[in-house]
Amino acid sequence: MTHTEARHIRRVVILANKNKSEAETFVRDIARYLETKGIPNDIILTVDADQSISIHRETDLAICLGGDGTVLSCARLLHPYGIPMLAVNLGTFGFITEVCKDEWREAFEQYVAGKASISRRLMVRVSVLRDGKRIFLAHGLNEMTIAASGIAKMVSLDLFIDGTNAGKIRSDGIIVATPTGSTAYSLAAGGPILDVDLDALIINPVCPFTLSNRPLVIGGEGAVRIVVREGQKTNISMTVDGQVFCPLQDGDEVAIEKARSKALLVMSPKRNYYEVIRDKLNWSGGMHA
């Protein structure tokens, strides 16, 4: 449903990928535009996965500049604050960054006028327990992945869903993905594409030894627990959104559940989710690799 009431923006934070060559120039252009509107702004150049930031209490909107990877970082930084993100791709457009760099001003003005909706994206909360103690906690917008971190070898895991033993998984790894992450690594591993507004999680074994181990979609309230079985023949690691890393040991328990807060993304006035996946995946009816 489209929002129709005009929004009052007290303050904006601009977050940009400092490794993008044009980011700093673009940031200055946006800051100057906001100043002409009388909107105070703060600038944060960031790409560090473990960075922490301080947000002014009057901030009503974040403008994130980069690619989909930048948005993943910004989602982890911003979700505790409940601040909507206007994600601007400095290339063309991505699966998450639907707004191109030459469309940002129109998108901003549509949002302020109440003509652009907010997509509330489910995030995952991932924790690792070792000998009964939590040693790791992170949030992710796309997915959690467990895989061999050494020479490619099979990993052996026990999977539990809502406390029920769902079986032993022998595979190259396992992905637990959100609807947003359904078009990322999980898709490459043969998983389904989900509507981003669904309250659901995908459990996707990567190249399973048992071919009957197929991707499984569960409700968003489901609790997933994965136990690293004893006697692994390779080192194992876990990543969140491909950006946050945690090495695992035999006996470790990884708990994945829906996060209490969501990533809030301002929707593009130019295209919707299905137009994005149609164009990115070349759903034209022709022959494409």
Who has greater pLDDT, 95 or 179?
Answer: 179
Residue 108's pLDDT is 96
Higher pLDDT, 199 or 53: 199
Indicate if 279 belongs to the active site: no
Rounded-to-integer distance, Cα 173 and Cα 129, Å: 19
pLDDT above 70 covers what percent of the chain?
94
Q: Which domain holds residue 253?
A: 124-258
Do the domain assignments include residue 5? no
Q: How confident is the model at residue 1 (pLDDT cuts 50, 70, 90)?
A: very low
Is 286's pLDDT higher than 70? no
Whether residue 48 has pLDDT greater than 80: no
Whether 137 shows a pLDDT value over 70: the answer reads yes
Which class for 132: exposed (0-12), middle (13-18), buried (19 or more C-beta within 10 A)?
A: exposed
pTM metric for this prediction: 0.92
Mean pLDDT value of segment 5-10: 93
Q: Looking at residue 118, what is its pLDDT?
A: 94
Decide if 180 is inside a domain.
Answer: yes
Examine the domain organization and report whether 132 and 243 are in the same domain. yes
Residue 30 and residue 135 in one domain: no
pLDDT digits (tens, 9 = 90+) for 65-93: 988 999 999 999 998 899 999 999 987 66
Kindly state whether residues 133 and 90 are assigned to the same domain. no
Q: Are residues 178 and 128 in the same domain?
A: yes
Catalytic residue among 68, 197, 241, 279: 68
Q: Say if 7 falls within a structural domain.
A: no
Two tokens, residue 107 = 């998108």
Q: What is the pLDDT of residues 142-189, one digit of tens each?
A: 999 999 987 768 999 999 999 999 999 999 999 999 999 999 999 999
Q: Phi/psi of residue 188, each to 5°? A: -65, -25
140 and 71 share a domain?
no
Residue 212 lies in a domain: yes
Name which residue leads in pLDDT, 24 or 4: 24
Burial of 149 (0-12, 13-18, 19+ CB in 10 A): middle
Residues 110 and 187 in one domain: no
Most confident of 91-95, 233-237, 247-251: 247-251
Using the predicted structure, report yes or no on whether residue 64 has a pLDDT greater than 60: yes
Q: pLDDT tens, 113-130?
A: 999 999 999 999 999 999
d(C-alpha 203, C-alpha 177), whole Å: 7
> Do 134 and 185 sit in the same domain of this protein?
yes
AA identity, residue 51? Q
Q: What are phi and psi of 134, to 5 degrees?
A: -75, 125
Residue 23 has a pLDDT of 86
Residues 144 and 111 in one domain: no
Residue 210 or residue 157, greater confidence = 157
Mapped to the 3 state alphabet, what secondary structure does the chain carry?
A: CCCCCCCCCCCEEEEECCCCCCHHHHHHHHHHHHHHCCCCEEEEECCCCCCCCCCCCCCCEEEEEECHHHHHHHHHHHHHHCCCEEEEECCCCCCCCCEECCCHHHHHHHHHCCCCCEEEECCEEEEEEECCEEEEEEEECCEEEEEECCCCCCEEEEEEECCEEEEEEEECEEEEECCHHHHCHHHHCCCCCCCCCCCEEEEEEECCCCCCCCCEEEECCCCEEEEECCCCCCCEEEEECCCEEEEECCCCEEEEEECCCCEEEECCCCCCHHHHHHHHCCCCCCCCC
- Is residue 70 situated within a structural domain? yes
Given a cut of 80, is residue 207 above it in pLDDT?
yes
- Count of the separate structural domains present in the chain: 2
Q: What is the pLDDT of residues 216-225, one digit of tens each?
A: 999 999 999 9
Do 145 and 96 have their domain in common?
no
Is residue 133 located within the same domain as residue 208? yes
CATH number, domain with residue 220: 2.60.200.30
